[in-house]
Amino acid sequence: MFYKANIIIEKDEDGYYAYCPELPGCQSQGDSLEEVRENIREAVELYLETLSESEKQVL
């Protein structure tokens, strides 16, 4: 199944921070833009794996 989600990436003094507003608590960080992109992609995939089928239908 394919999902589309918004990802917000912010730069701060320690690197980059990313989160997905549609998935509460789904967030990650990285030292570079490339690293934070990879990390948040993995975080979203793992988050979706934890959802039940009925929870996935709501997304």
Q: Report the C-alpha gap between 44 and 34 in whole angstroms.
A: 16
Non-local CB neighbours of 8 within 8 Å, separated by 6+ positions: 18, 19, 20, 21
Segments forming the whole domain that contains residue 46: 8-53
The model's pLDDT over 22-45, given as tens digits with 9 standing for 90+, comes to 999 999 999 999 999 999 999 999
Task: Evaluate whether residue 24 is within a structural domain.
Answer: yes
Q: Is the residue at 33 inside a domain?
A: yes
**Interval 3-27: pLDDT, tens:** 788 999 999 999 999 999 999 999 9
Helix (H, G, I), strand (E, B) or coil at 29: strand
Question: Which of 51, 31, 45, 24 lies closest to 9 in space, CA to CA?
Answer: 31
Structure tokens at 39: 């990390």
pTM, entire model: 0.86
Residue 44 lies in a domain: yes
Note whether residue 1 is domain-resident. no
Residue 3 belongs to a domain: no
- Are residues 20 and 44 in contact, defined by beta-carbon separation less than 8 angstroms? yes
Residue 35 belongs to a domain with what CATH number? Answer: 3.30.160.250
Residue 2 lies in a domain: no
The pLDDT assigned to 30 comes to 98
What's the structural domain count of the chain? 1
